[in-house]
Amino acid sequence: MLIAGQARRAGQTLVTVNTGQFSRVPGLQVLDWAV
pLDDT at 12: 97
Domain extents in the chain: 2-30
- Alpha-carbon distance 3 to 12, whole Å? 11
Q: How many other CB atoms are found less than 10 A from the CB of residue 7?
A: 19
Q: Collapsing DSSP states into helix, strand and coil, what is residue 5?
A: helix
pLDDT at 1: 85
Per-residue pLDDT reduced to its tens digit, 1-35: 899 999 999 999 999 999 999 999 999 999 999 87
Q: Collapsing DSSP states into helix, strand and coil, what is residue 19?
A: helix
- Alpha-carbon distance 5 to 11, whole Å? 10
